[in-house]
Amino acid sequence: MLGTVLIVAVVLGAGFALSVVGRPAGGSKPPRKAAPTTTAAPAVSMTPLQARIVAVAEGQIGYATDPSNTYCNKYSAFWVSGTDDCGNSNLDEEWCADFAAWVWQKAGASVNYQYINGDLNSSAASFYEWGVANGTWHPVGSGYIPQPGDVAVYGLDIPALVAQHVAVVTSFTPGDQGPNVVNGDGDRTGFSVVETGRDEVVADIADSSGAHLSGYVSPVAG
């Protein structure tokens, strides 16, 4: 009944304790509960290989093709892949996969770059093939949480063995749909540059229709 104080006695040995439940009419408010404490999410612990991949990828942010209105770039030249029409030491081709393979190789991951199914090359879908061959392919919807150093694959068409883009994963924020990445051959801040992307669930390319996140490929130490 309103205004009634319910007293519960708990017998503790020879004594007892009183606990007041409810609020008496016109009485004082019950003690304010302490605000719950919040704990920051622990920092992700990276393996040495993962840390090197992230460092190498982030160290390239801001790189732009030369000439600036072409796809002429140093990563394709490193793999001797592309057209020699740049007028310098660069080679000319769309290079998101060349960049990701270069980052893995420089960081000490296992990379065999050649145009054979199961190896990495300038085709974005080659990362999917490599992941399947090495048991490190994680499709979207599998419950896999992306790890630093993974390569995210976008717009994958498995029957045709083509994909529209790949990017190097640097981290993942819980609650996001996509990873935080470093893109080679990105085009948000300029034509064909290395740039970051946050919560990248759609590829950083000019025509991103259908270029949604398809899955992740994890590296293997070389």
43-58 in b/e burial notation, b at 16+ Cβ within 10 A? eeebeebbebbbebbe
The residue segments making up the domain with residue 160 are: 48-217
* C-alpha–C-alpha distance, residues 124 and 154, integer Å: 8
Is residue 90 included in any domain, yes or no?
Answer: yes
Decide if 165 is inside a domain. Answer: yes
Q: Is residue 4 part of a domain?
A: no
Q: Which two tokens stand for residue 59?
A: 């160290």
Residue 74 lies in a domain: yes
Q: Does residue 132 lie within any of the structural domains? A: yes
CATH number at residue 74: 3.90.1720
Can you give the three-state secondary structure of 84-125, one letter per residue?
CCCCCCCEECCCHHHHHHHHHHHHCECCCECCCCCCECCCCH
Residues 6+ apart with CB under 8 A from 121: 79, 81, 97, 101, 113, 114, 115
- pLDDT of 44 reads 67
Q: What is the pTM of this model?
A: 0.80
Give dist(CA 126, CA 182) in Å, integer. Answer: 18
Mean pLDDT split into 10-residue runs, the chain, 222 residues = 37 36 38 39 79 98 97 98 98 98 98 95 98 97 97 98 98 97 95 97 90 98 93
What size, in residues, is the chain? Answer: 222
Query: Does residue 68 fall inside a structural domain?
Result: yes
Domain count, the chain: 1
Instruction: Judge whether 6 lies within some domain.
Output: no
Residue 40 lies in a domain: no
> For position 208, what pLDDT does the model report?
81
C-alpha span between 212 and 136 (Å, rounded): 20
